[in-house]
Amino acid sequence: MSQSFDARQLRETTAAESAPTPAQFRQAMLRHLQYTVGKSPQQASLFDWRMALSHTVRDYAVDPWFSATRRTWDEDRKRVYYLSMEFLIGRLLEDQAINLGLRDVMVQVLAEFGLSFDEVAEGEPDAALGNGGLGRLAACYLESMATMGCPAYGYGLRYEHGLFRQHFENGRQIETPENWLATDNPWDFTRPEAAYPVGFGGELHDHDGASIWSPRSKVLASAHDTPVVGYGGQWANTLRLWAAMPSADLFNLDRFNAGDFAAASEPEALARSLSRVLYPNDTTEGGKELRLSQEYFLTSASVQDILRRYLAAHDDLLKLPEFVAIQMNDTHPAIAGPELIRLLVDEHAVDFDTAVETATSVLGYTNHTLLPEALERWSVGLMRKVLPRHLQIIETLDTQFIALQGQAPNPVRLISNDQVSMGDLAFTTSHKVNGVSALHTELVSQELFPVHNELHPGRIVNITNGVTPRRWLKLANPSLAALITDTIGAGWESDLERLRELEPYAEDPAFRDAFGRSKRQAKEHFTGWLAAEHGIELPAEALYDAQVKRLHEYKRQLLNILWTIAHWQRIKRDPQANWVPRVKIFGGKAAPSYHMAKLIIQLINDVAEVVNNDPETRHLLRVVYPPNYGVSMAEKLIPAADLSEQISTAGMEASGTGNMKFALNGALTIGTLDGANVEIREHVGAENFFLFGLTTEQVGERRAQQGHSRAALEASQTLRDVLQAIAEGTFSPEDHHRYDGLLETMWNSDWFLVASDFEDYDRAQGEVADCYSDPEKWQRMAILNIARMGYFSSDRSIREYMSQIWDVESAL
């Protein structure tokens, strides 16, 4: 059985039949409390209970994990290896419990001890091993691969410090280190026996025409495994994260014996730094030796592990593509091509051309960006210093690639301007290259890789992103999930197209009311948390209008806050008009070195300070920016939103996945024709989507027009009034010049076309308000959004990867 397996069967078997009784679960939990945690119920703190509970849930994950692993070996199945520098997992307890069918029993047993599950669960730190969309996508895909019964491993780094924590001081972003491992991580199994040396630096020697690499230093990669259970508990895969361990010879015993204790551990400290901290940029800074070393560390350990596992059951390395598919999540692990070629040639005596062919058949590359500053390039000098053998292999690949282009006068090169282009390298060493939405894939073919595309027609494929409905609907929005189950029955969780059965209910007043109540509950859950955690009180009766995502100029949080100012000014001019009360919610982190993004954060907070304290408007407009947005905050915030802001400059957001989570939870979208917005709008219907803004093509034309920013400003009195208020220090009375730089950009360059799109955005926001004043209409639209979002399940995405890229069958 395979692609056509019906995931609906899963739930029935596990959730109902093999789930423990409350008594069994209680006993298992108390056992862990006593023997794993070492506490009695009388002494146990919330932390102790969470540990006991997590270990109990993990135990139930181990059985499907063992059986899936055993079956994969016994049936000699092809495996997928998803290589990613980021896995933005968030919390695991409730997620795993839901997939194992244990959630209700767990809540009930805790209640018997007078404990609230929410309170216990709130203590779990987010595993924030990622920056944003790319890392969260990897986490959704892991969960979907397990649900679909796709034999797979996720490979990543076990960063000691995940994405920094954010707080605000006087409106400014301050970063502090994140420390998720400070208390025990109950989910992973340490595997000291699975350790691989990864070499760095050193020299090449010629030996009978072959290159011999003698690395200068070696660092051990040591494995930590977390079982990832699919929905229904029928299958489980492994997330294997590598931690850097200094190999024994790195500790300088001579220095230690000579009494220089600090110097003795210097090389050791350097080695450990490889898995110390996640790079906090969602675009590369470039040229950082540690980053390149981290990328190689992940890649080499993973590829060695993959070959070891393959060779344990096979001996013909040329058959590797029949049993192994490796997916590179962007170019960060793109050294996998040269590394696999190196291992085949240098360690297993495969000839070079065969090695290249084998590697290419195994590898796939997902592109997540067109932004030039985010396309990785490593200087040849750095490559030679850190990875001399790989550079040599890349030079050969470059020569071959030029030859492939025949007489082309200006051939595309893997190495140009003394830099290795990791995108071009990833393309040439992959049999499939995919973009993450239809529009993005089109741009990848036409703008980024036109030459590659002509040389290898059919290599580029589109696989539109998806999100897992288990975490992003069932877990995050229990009231809506319950309403859906009551209405169409269970099973939609693993067959999301079934949401379509909700369509007729858009016309049912009772259902619309019930939907309204579920939205209210989600709002109360969010505002309750916001009040408890941040002391922010929000009105329940308002349009919740949210933009949460990394801070980036192309995402145009600036457009949103400028419109908010315009809206405030309008209310002040006519406070008695029939305004729809709005709460403007912002969330997201800026890269620590991204000055403009941090300035925009400060502007949002400055505006919030003024607007929220204006007695004339505060019942009609609020601006809130809860700090430290991440997966766990998203789980509370997204279900509470009425309006989803997806307002990037067209052509710049590769896909977006937050857009999918909001629409799935019944928020309406105000958005541009960018990334997956295009497909969301096609699916939910143009009449159920607030569209505005220039198209990708028009963006190109507008940018080419001299003085477009000034012209757009001259055409908008509204926007000029906004900019004037900022310039006058309305929001920064203590520093009138704070936003000079930002205003200068608005008048004179405006690369992201904030001014050009402002008036149309204003028009669309007007439509939003009109529509919201007609609750019946709004709810009908929201319900149709939910009913038509089935396509955006990550199960669908994974099914497409399995058939179009990995050529692997479901084991279920």
| Residue numbers at the binding site for ligand NBY (CB under 6 A) | 131-134, 137, 279, 281-284, 368-369, 374, 376, 436, 465, 653-657, 675
| Cα dihedral 465→470→475→476 (10° resolution) | 20
In the bound state with ligand NBY, the residue whose beta carbon lies nearer, of 368 and 471, is 368
What residues contact 389, with CB distance under 8 A and at least 6 apart?
Answer: 204, 211, 213, 342, 346
Residue pair 674/648 in contact by the 8 Å Cβ criterion? yes
In the bound state with ligand NBY, the residue whose beta carbon lies nearer, of 554 and 579, is 554
Q: Which of 158, 240, 291, 368 is catalytic?
A: 368
Q: Which of 468, 657, 669, 672 is catalytic?
A: 657
Q: Is residue 371 packed enough to be buried (19+ CB in 10 Å), middle (13-18) or exposed (0-12)?
A: middle
In the bound state with ligand NBY, the residue whose beta carbon lies nearer, of 104 and 373, is 373
Residue pair 622/583 in contact by the 8 Å Cβ criterion? yes
Q: Is residue 572 packed enough to be buried (19+ CB in 10 Å), middle (13-18) or exposed (0-12)?
A: middle
Closest approach, Cβ 159 to ligand NBY, in A, equals 13
Q: Is residue 70 packed enough to be buried (19+ CB in 10 Å), middle (13-18) or exposed (0-12)?
A: exposed
Residue pair 289/382 in contact by the 8 Å Cβ criterion? yes
Q: Which of 50, 523, 549, 681 is catalytic?
A: 549
Beta-strand pair 79-83/152-157:
parallel
Closest approach, Cβ 658 to ligand NBY, in A, equals 8
In the bound state with ligand NBY, the residue whose beta carbon lies nearer, of 305 and 330, is 330
Q: Which of 218, 525, 584, 661 is catalytic?
A: 661
Note if 777 is an active site residue.
no
In the bound state with ligand NBY, the residue whose beta carbon lies nearer, of 68 and 670, is 670
Note if 384 is an active site residue.
no
Note if 474 is an active site residue.
no
Beta bridge partner(s), residue 668: 643
Q: What is the 3-state secondary structure (H, E, C) of 102-136?
A: CHHHHHHHHHHCCCCHHHHHHCCCCEEECCCHHHH
Note if 550 is an active site residue.
yes
Taking each helix axis from N to C terminus, what angle separates 557-573 and 717-727, rounded to the nearest 10 degrees? 100
Closest approach, Cβ 284 to ligand NBY, in A, equals 3
Note if 572 is an active site residue.
no
Alpha helices, DSSP H, located in 642-707: 658-664, 677-684, 696-704
Q: Which of 555, 622, 702, 796 is catalytic?
A: 555
Residue pair 211/392 in contact by the 8 Å Cβ criterion? yes
Closest approach, Cβ 286 to ligand NBY, in A, equals 8
Q: What are phi and psi of 752, to 5 degrees?
A: -95, 5
Taking alpha carbons only, the member of 685, 677, 667, 681 closest to residue 546 is 667
The 3-state DSSP class for residue 264 equals helix
- Residue 192 sits at the vertex; the CA angle it makes with 187 and 194, to the nearest 5 degrees, is 100
In the bound state with ligand NBY, the residue whose beta carbon lies nearer, of 481 and 673, is 673
Does an H or E element contain 98, and which?
helix 93-99
Q: Which of 550, 567, 589, 788 is catalytic?
A: 550
What residues contact 117, with CB distance under 8 A and at least 6 apart?
Answer: 94, 106, 107, 110, 111
Beta-strand pair 87-90/127-129:
antiparallel
Q: What are phi and psi of 450, to 5 degrees?
A: -65, -40
In the bound state with ligand NBY, the residue whose beta carbon lies nearer, of 331 and 756, is 331
Closest approach, Cβ 133 to ligand NBY, in A, equals 3
CA–CA separation, 269 and 250 (whole Å): 9
Note if 368 is an active site residue.
yes
In the bound state with ligand NBY, the residue whose beta carbon lies nearer, of 171 and 651, is 651
Look at the alpha carbons of 502, 506, 508, 513 in this order and tell me if their dihedral is positive or negative.
positive
Closest approach, Cβ 376 to ligand NBY, in A, equals 6
Closest approach, Cβ 279 to ligand NBY, in A, equals 5
In the bound state with ligand NBY, the residue whose beta carbon lies nearer, of 96 and 434, is 434
What size, in residues, is the chain?
A: 812
Taking alpha carbons only, the member of 119, 70, 114, 65 closest to residue 93 is 119
Closest approach, Cβ 789 to ligand NBY, in A, equals 16
Closest approach, Cβ 626 to ligand NBY, in A, equals 21
Closest approach, Cβ 247 to ligand NBY, in A, equals 27
Return the active site residues: 368, 549-550, 555, 657, 661
